[in-house]
A and B are shown apart, each in its own frame.
Chain A
């Protein structure tokens, strides 16, 4: 089973700043089958990025994903007030889907 480790655990930033979230896999994620999700309190997760770098339908272009192999990054270019939430990475390249433990982006 592929283990995903996200860092940092918490990111304290101000609106307008750039956020960089990391996701490292215990082994290579095949074909960049890596996704990012956003979850706000009391809500279901929402797909942001799939295939490591493709934005899901309706996702603003301030969200971008990059990386391959074992190292992946989610970047939010300029934080909007609605972006403060928890973010999870997920690999779906094997027959056992796994999530990282999450990164909380909080208002500084």
Chain B
């Protein structure tokens, strides 16, 4: 079964660092880009950025550039999203998603992780 499995919920304090993960299985991890998507409580979906696991090339939404870092370890089929200094406004559900169907590079997100809830509160 093709799936993305994310790490569990996190509760952090403002200023702390955090890295959450997304492990792919059932397919060739390096053949598909991975994106991260934020969903703040009661709000819509926001694309944050994406990575090509084959070479770790990334690009980010202007809204998130400089605030988060996306990385991947292809040896363990895992992508990461990390913060160096969390803020209360980072409280949200975070999803990873596979760029799976469509053109050669322009693809829709066909497989999603179950989401990781991040709560930042003092």
A: residues with CB less than 8 A from B are 1, 30-31, 33, 35, 37, 39, 44-47, 50-51, 54, 56-57, 88, 90, 92-93, 95-102
Report chain A residues within 8 Å CB of B61. Answer: 1, 96
Decide: B62 and A46 in contact? CB cutoff 8 A.
no
Decide: B114 and A97 in contact? CB cutoff 8 A.
no
28 contacts across the A-B interface (CB closer than 8 A):
A33-B102, A33-B103, A33-B106, A35-B102, A35-B109, A37-B45, A37-B109, A39-B45, A45-B112, A47-B109, A47-B110, A50-B108, A51-B102, A54-B101, A56-B110, A88-B44, A88-B45, A90-B45, A90-B108, A92-B102, A92-B107, A92-B108, A96-B47, A97-B35, A97-B50, A99-B44, A99-B45, A102-B44
B: residues with CB less than 8 A from A are 35, 37, 44-47, 50, 59, 61-62, 95, 97, 99-103, 106-110, 112-115
A90 to B35, CA, bound (A): 13
A39 to B93, CA, bound (A): 13
Q: Main secondary structure on chain B at its contact with chain A?
A: strand
Decide: A50 and B101 in contact? CB cutoff 8 A.
yes
Decide: B106 and A31 in contact? CB cutoff 8 A.
yes
**Complex: chain B residue closest to A48, CB-CB:** B108
The 6 tightest CB contacts between A and B, nearest first, are A50-B108, A35-B108, A44-B112, A97-B47, A99-B45, A102-B44
**A1-B61, A33-B103 given; 4 more Cβ-contact pairs under 8 Å:** A47-B100, A93-B106, A97-B35, A97-B50
* A50 CB, nearest partner CB in chain B, Å: 4
Decide: B59 and A95 in contact? CB cutoff 8 A.
yes
**Complex: chain B residue closest to A57, CB-CB:** B110
Decide: B44 and A44 in contact? CB cutoff 8 A.
no
A49 to B99, CA, bound (A): 14
Decide: A98 and B47 in contact? CB cutoff 8 A.
yes
A5 to B106, CA, bound (A): 21
